[in-house]
């Protein structure tokens, strides 16, 4: 995968000097960076340090695929100097939102990542957007954030690069040992069965085979054919554990577990962080808790 970073605007005619002009300062003398969801916001805070105020348009626990922005979301982001988004069809609502903001400068953080395709459903063949869930692809996000911030605030480039290097090390130390533990599991246990197909990058990274009830949460639920396929596969391969995600009901996964004799392995976090007092208030917490839940459940099976 070739690393590339682009700072773009949705308005093709916006002059380049407008991108590189001094950022508008938020309260406290910092410029504001708006992000489309909480995971990107936390990553951006780690790279920006004390040079920028970073906000998330969506709130902790939000289902981000079909999110419907509110007037208060627009107000909160309208004085931003930069908007950071995931891309790969994750934020289906974003283009109109950006137009309503007046086409602010924006950066797509999955630039340079070779996408894995979604398998099945309305979005079959389109890029799977959940690339932040694997180590190698997560590092692209960090570098792209540092590059975008540096274009808006060139004086801070050295700080952004240093923060990015430190943060990439923290990500590697968080997920690396858990990835090794997953790869060491007996092959017959290395299955990841979830409600949404949001873990393709993680499954590939961890050496797991993936099954899911629906490809992406925008589809809302699995079809009878999709559910039957998962049930048959669990029985055929004697898959021991089924998981669900924090932003959807756990009922479908629990029903599948009850029907097949598999164990319900718990909640995985992928699309959103929790509130500060919750189980995954940071991106590193999300990686750790989700990976530990998977590895421990499969190890105990």
Same domain, 171 and 211: no
Cα dist from 62 to 69, 217, 245, 250, 271, whole Å: 11, 12, 12, 16, 8
102 located within any domain: yes
pLDDT digits (tens, 9 = 90+) for 202-217: 999 999 999 999 876 6
* Orientation angle between helical segments 135-152 and 157-183, nearest 10 degrees: 170
104 located within any domain: yes
Residue at a domain's end among 149, 176, 203: 176
Range of the domain at 110: 7-176
Over residues 186-199, the mean pLDDT reads 95
| pLDDT value of residue 19 | 38
Nearest 5°: the CA angle 1, 190, 201 is 25
Q: Which two tokens stand for residue 208?
A: 């797991």
User: Using CA atoms, how far apart are residues 186 and 164, in angstroms rounded to an integer?
Assistant: 35
1 located within any domain: no
Residue at a domain's end among 176, 208, 235: 176
User: Using CA atoms, how far apart are residues 296 and 301, in angstroms rounded to an integer?
Assistant: 9
Same domain, 159 and 232: no
CATH number of the domain within which 275 lies: 3.40.50.1980
Q: In the chain, what percentage of residues exceed pLDDT 90? A: 68
225 located within any domain: yes
What's the domain count of the chain?
2
2 located within any domain: no
Residue at a domain's end among 176, 201, 222: 176
Same domain, 170 and 183: no
Same domain, 111 and 199: no
Same domain, 65 and 136: yes
pLDDT digits (tens, 9 = 90+) for 88-112: 988 888 888 888 778 789 999 999 9
What average pLDDT does the chain have? 88
230 located within any domain: yes
């Amino acid at each position: 995968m070739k690393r590339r970073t682009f700072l773009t605007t949705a308005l093709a005619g916006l002059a380049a000097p407008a991108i590189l002009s001094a950022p508008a300062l938020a309260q406290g003398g910092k410029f504001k960076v708006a992000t489309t969801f909480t995971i990107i916001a936390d990553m951006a805070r780690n790279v920006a340090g004390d040079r920028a105020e970073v906000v998330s348009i969506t709130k902790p626990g939000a289902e981000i695929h079909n999110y419907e922005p509110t007037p208060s979301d627009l107000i909160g982001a309208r004085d931003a100097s930069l908007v950071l988004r995931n891309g790969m069809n994750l934020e289906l609502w974003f283009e109109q939102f950006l137009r309503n903001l007046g086409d602010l400068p924006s950066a797509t953080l999955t630039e340079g990542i070779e996408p894995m395709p979604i398998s099945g459903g309305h979005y079959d063949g389109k890029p799977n957007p959940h690339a932040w869930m694997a180590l190698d692809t997560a590092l692209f996000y960090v570098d792209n954030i540092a590059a975008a911030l540096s274009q808006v605030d060139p004086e801070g480039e050295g700080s952004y690069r240093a923060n990015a290097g430190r943060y990439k090390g923290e990500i590697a130390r968080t997920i690396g040992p858990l990835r090794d533990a997953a790869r060491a599991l007996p092959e017959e246990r290395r299955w990841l069965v979830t409600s949404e197909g949001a873990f393709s990058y993680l499954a590939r990274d961890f050496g797991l085979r993936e099954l899911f009830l629906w490809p992406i949460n925008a589809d809302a639920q699995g079809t009878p054919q999709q559910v039957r396929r998962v049930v048959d596969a669990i029985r055929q391969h004697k898959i021991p554990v089924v998981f669900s995600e924090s932003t959807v009901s756990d009922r479908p996964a629990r029903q599948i577990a009850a029907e097949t004799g598999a164990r319900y392995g718990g909640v995985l976090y992928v699309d959103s962080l929790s509130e500060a007092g919750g189980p995954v208030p940071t991106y590193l917490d999300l990686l750790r808790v989700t990976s530990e839940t998977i590895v421990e459940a499969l190890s105990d099976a």
